Amino acid sequence: MLLYCPMITLNNITKKIGSRTLFEEVTFTFNDGCRYGLTGPNGAGKSTLLKIVMGTEAPTSGTVSLPQKVGFLKQRIEDFSDYTVLDTVIMGNSRLWNALAERDSLYEVEMTDAVGMRLGELEEIVAEEDGYSAESDAEVLLIGMGIPEELHRKKMHEIPTDRQFRALLCQALFGNPQALLLDEPTNHLDLESISWLEEFLHNYKGALVVVSHDRHFLNSVCTHIADLDYETIIAYPGNYDAMLVVKTAVRARAEEENKAKEKKISQLKEFVAKFGAGTRASQVQSRVREIDRLQPLELKKSNIQRPYIRFVVPEKQSGHVVFKLDKVSKSYGDNLVIQKFSCEIHKGDKIALIGNNGRGKTTLLKLLAGELLPDSGKITYGHQVEIGYFPQNHADVIDKHTDRTAFDWLKERKEIVFDQDARGVLGKMLFSGDDAFKSLKALSGGETARLLLGGLLLTAPNVLLLDEPNNHLDLEAVSALAWGLEDYKGTALIATHDRGLMNEFAKKIIAFEADGIHYFEGPLEEYLLKKQAK
């Protein structure tokens, strides 16, 4: 049940899926003027909670109160395929869009007094909702999201998929909503668009609730964290890093207090056992009462789980030159993606591939991995190069249409592997107990990504080629990956939009820009400063 109020309020919300409880009797208010990061591991129920708030999924029990105008990032681009990009954005203000649609339909019928009266009412609504500037307002959002003006009047299905998702983000932001609910808004955005979105959200005055696996984005945007844990929502002031420090400290303190209580109880029980039948009855009863008072608090299992990602130092070391590219070109039909690109990748290089989607990052990684052949030019592989490839499309490596388990798939990665070694890797990737034998077809996106990383831990290649490895990982897994890459002694090339991940590991940049591909010897911040100075 949805009620209207100036802020977002959850009233005793419970959600159960089968025998599993995601959250129970949660009462929480997302206040006006605050920007909340909704956090928790994959499967904690973040997206489910957003759907409950918007009324697209029912809670098991409880009610939600909302402002009248809420912006919500939709995920189904196919619902808008036959609308123009501009119209798709304007549809974010449903009151305005419905008034414009009805007004246009009335101009097609015979004019009567009743029709004229209704047109007057509709014009009032259009004026109240700033409808006369709607197109220009929508264009400002689209340009900020990197969608050029020449695409604004095209149908959605006529523009690239990643730009369709950007248009849906503009739809959520359009019309001055009183509250904003954004589920993974930085997906499909390049660095410039993410920076624009951060600035927009900094100036936003309503209640913002955002789910994101981009730690840098959450740290930049959020004034509060709403953490889904212990089957409820716990609020923390500050950004994600500040929350993590407090949360970990509180948990550690509670565990230490329980240990101290258990030690004291053990000592008291020894006293009771020794003197229980003797003359010190009053002292014994005092100790029994103290034992009851000191019973440790039952600590529910926390969601703080982090995989252990440490890429083993390869047995075989590569030569100094790992890849040599000489005037490499690759096109898809008339679309020339890479043109006469030359560079050398050296042993130990940690390189981030950055740039808009569609400019060639995935193509370059596939060329280096041997998944594609160049149309012209030459790629020379160095001495003893052993490649570990993580594709953006997990289905390229993991066939989910079989009955194999995660354990089966992992054992196939290496010619000789002991069961305990495979189980050890799976445990590090949070596949504990029976989860190791989970069917491939039952794996979530995050579990599939962790299994792929587990394959790289097991095979220990001396070159890593990772294409958007963080897309389905939760924040703790992305942090673990960043630390693993920073410690890695081999060579790594990673395509990602996650600045936190890049800042942790990357010492060099390959930037795919509108004017070509640029090789930069230095970290991301230096590259961006140099680019701004031009």
pLDDT, tens digit (0-9, with 9 covering 90-100), for 447-459: 899 999 999 999 9
Q: What is the 3-state secondary structure (H, E, C) of 190-243?
A: CHHHHHHHHHHHHCCCCEEEEECCCHHHHHHHCCEEEEEECCEEEEEECCHHHH
pLDDT for position 61? 94
- Per-residue pLDDT, averaged over 350-358, amounts to 89
Task: Spell out a b/e string for 89-114, using b for 16 or more CB atoms within 10 Å of the CB, else e.
Answer: bbbbbeebbebbeebeebeeeeeeee
Average pLDDT, the chain: 88
Q: Going by C-beta distance under 8 Å and a sequence separation of 6 or more, which residues neighbour residue 213?
A: 184, 470, 471, 473, 474, 475, 478, 498
pLDDT bucket at 275, cuts 50 / 70 / 90: low
Give the pLDDT confidence of 226-249 residue by residue, as tens digits: 998 878 899 999 998 888 888 877
CB 93 within 8 A of CB 70: no
Q: What is the DSSP letter of 461?
A: -
CB 406 within 8 A of CB 438: yes
Give the pLDDT confidence of 10-32 residue by residue, as tens digits: 999 999 988 888 889 999 999 99
Most confident of 214-218, 253-257, 260-264: 214-218
Dihedral sign from CA coordinates of 41, 221, 156, 514 = negative
Please give the CATH number for the structural domain made up of 321-533: 3.40.50.300
E strand segments, 402-490: 463-467
Query: Measured between alpha carbons, how far is 140 from 143 in angstroms, rounded to an integer?
Result: 5
In the chain, what is the straight-line distance between the N-terminal and C-terminal CA atoms, in Å?
Answer: 54
pLDDT for position 299? 47
Distances in Å between the Cα of 512 and the Cα atoms of 357, 515, 517 are: 9, 8, 5
Q: Where are the domains of the chain?
A: 78-170, 243-293, 321-533
Backbone phi and psi for residue 507, each to the nearest 5 degrees, phi listed first: -110, -10
pLDDT for position 91? 96
